[in-house]
A and B are shown apart, each in its own frame.
Chain A
Amino acid sequence: MEPLTNNIEALLATKDYGELTKAERDQVIQSYGQQEYERLRQVALSGQSLADAPTPPPSLKANLMKAFRQKHQRRNIPLHTITMPFWQAAAVAACMVLMGQFVRFGPVYAQTPAMAWEANDSIWFKKVTQIVADTALAVFSADEQLKALKESKSEIAATTTDQLPADKLLPQPVSDTPGWARRSALGTVENAPLLLMMH
């Protein structure tokens, strides 16, 4: 048997002897002869017949798809698949409540009060109102008026926004002052709302 030329090898893989063109037949007859070509063609076809079987079991695909999900989708953990003992869930909830309390009150009281007013009502209860810088609705500079106010506490209640020097009012940086903090700082001095901080 002559070594396979590229052309005849390609013919063996694709064509029966009867399908060959005249030129191809001449080439085959010079190399092998019809009978030998047909036998080798049968061998090549026997190789092609091996392609039908076997097939992998379905479980293989299921395993691999599972492995792929585990590898590439670790971040998407469905919450309903998480199991946890009751005591752990309760402990987590308690920690979250405590953390919430700290966040709720921490920043406001941690700050040094900008000013504090003391006033006594008619039955001698002392009332203290503290205002910190974060909680002021408006800030203005009025040292002289403040001095006057300090000398006479009773005038505080009479102070309203109409009487304030509007040209000296500065815009309050609201971004740092959440609504709940502002409300918590609203106090009253002798039943009058105290809305401003002076400095």
Chain B
Amino acid sequence: MPDHKQSKAIPTDEELMQRIQQGQESAFNTLYDRYSQRMYRYFYRMLGQSAEMAHDFTQELFIKIIEQPEAFDTQRRFSTWFYAVAGNLIKNEYRRKAKQPPQAPLDDAHHTPASMGALPDLDAEVRQAYIEKAVQALRPHHRACFLLRYQEGLAVQEISEIIDCPPGTVKSRLHYSLKKLNELLSCVLGPNA
């Protein structure tokens, strides 16, 4: 019973969107607090780790809600729709540039050879930099699946709806992402790391 009361007190994303469609500022404020960081870091890693582009794209995404809140069908799941819109913005950016986003070679990170053995006492900051570089080395659609699944914690089914692919394709992309990252991070993610 208390859970039911709590769920009533905390509005769902879809309820917030209904209120935004009625022009309620507090609803937009709440929705921004829920999604701004997620979308910002998603753009950041999908657009070559550019803070400036992440800022601009996050702003553009929320401006779409402000300008055309009725574009969202409140019968749908909001997070799926929102990530799908974000994905379309990223695709448009790739098309605009007419090339894939820059894929920095892993060896550039601190000039450490990839063949180096496991470094159990590797500094956490350096290790994080390796992970960032390795994720950037993934192909965009593999990276999108990996980030949505492990960074954002979305289910395979929801990812398949976001990127408009069958769940089997999502699983396949996740498989290749893990395999690739396992190779690239073999020096960092040892059994004792």
Interface of A with B (CB < 8 Å)? Answer: 1, 3-4, 6, 9, 12-13, 35, 38-40, 42-44, 46-51, 53-57, 60-61, 63-65, 67-69, 71-73
Q: In the complex the two chains form, what is the Cα distance from A164 to B23 in whole Å?
A: 64
Per-residue interface assignment for chain B, residues 141 to 177, with 1 indicating a CB less than 8 Å from any chain A CB and 0 otherwise = 0000011011111001000000000000001101100
Q: Residue A57 contacts which of B55, B149, B193 (CB distance < 8 angstroms)?
A: B55
Q: Are B55 and A73 in contact, with the CB atoms below 8 A?
A: no
| List of A residues within 8 angstroms of B151 by Cβ | 47-48, 50-51
Asked if B62 is at the interface (CB within 8 A of a chain A CB), the reply is yes
> Could you tell me if B150 and A44 are in contact, using CB atoms closer than 8 angstroms?
yes
Q: Is the CB of B171 within 8 A of A9?
A: yes
Tell me whether B104 is interfacial, beta carbon within 8 Å.
no
Which chain A residue has the least Cβ–Cβ distance from B62?
A: A64
Q: How many B residues are at the interface, by size bracket? A: 35 or more
Closest CB of chain B to A115's CB: distance in Å?
59
Q: Which residues of B sit under 8 angstroms from A69, Cβ to Cβ?
A: 25
Residues in A whose Cβ lies below 8 Å from that of B58: 56, 60
CB <8 Å contact, A47 and B147 = yes
Binding site for A on B (CB under 8 A): 23, 25, 28-29, 32, 36-37, 40-41, 44-45, 51, 54-55, 58-59, 62-63, 66-67, 128, 131-132, 134-135, 146-147, 149-153, 156, 171-172, 174-175, 178-179, 181-182, 185, 189, 191, 193
| Of the residues A12, A49, A64, A73, contact of B131 by C-beta under 8 Å | A49
Lowest 10 A-B CB distances belong to which pairs?
A47-B150, A72-B23, A56-B40, A42-B189, A4-B175, A46-B131, A50-B151, A43-B181, A64-B62, A68-B28
Which residues of chain B come closer than 8 Å to A55, judged between CB atoms? 37, 40-41
For B185, list chain A residues within 8 Å (CB). Answer: 42-43, 46
B147 touches A50 (CB 8 A): yes
Rounded to whole Å, the gap between the CB of B84 and the closest CB of chain A is 20
Closest residue of chain A to B25 (Cβ to Cβ) is A68
Chain B residues with CB under 8 Å of A13's CB are 149-150, 153
Using A46-B181, A55-B40 as known contacts, say yes or no to A64 and B66 having CB atoms under 8 A apart.
yes
The contact sample of 24 A-B pairs, CB cut-off 8 A, is A6-B156, A6-B171, A9-B175, A13-B149, A39-B182, A42-B193, A43-B189, A44-B178, A46-B185, A47-B151, A48-B150, A48-B151, A48-B153, A51-B152, A51-B153, A55-B37, A55-B41, A56-B55, A60-B40, A65-B25, A65-B28, A68-B28, A69-B25, A72-B66
Q: Looking at the complex, which one of A50, A68, A71 makes contact with B135 (CB distance below 8 Å)?
A: A50
CB contact under 8 A between A50 and B132, given known A64-B32, A71-B67, A72-B25:
yes
Contact B182 A50 (CB under 8 A): no
Residues of B within 8 A of A56 (CB): 36-37, 40, 54-55, 58
- The complex places the Cα of A47 from the Cα of B174 at a distance, in Å, of 12
Contact status B181-A51, CB under 8 Å: no
Contacts of A39 in B (CB 8 A): 182, 189, 191
Say whether B54 contacts A54, CB under 8 Å: yes
Q: Contact: A68 with B66, CB < 8 Å?
A: yes
A67-B66 contact, Cβ under 8 Å, with A46-B189, A54-B41: yes
Task: List the B side residues contacting A64 at CB < 8 Å.
Answer: 28, 32, 59, 62-63, 66
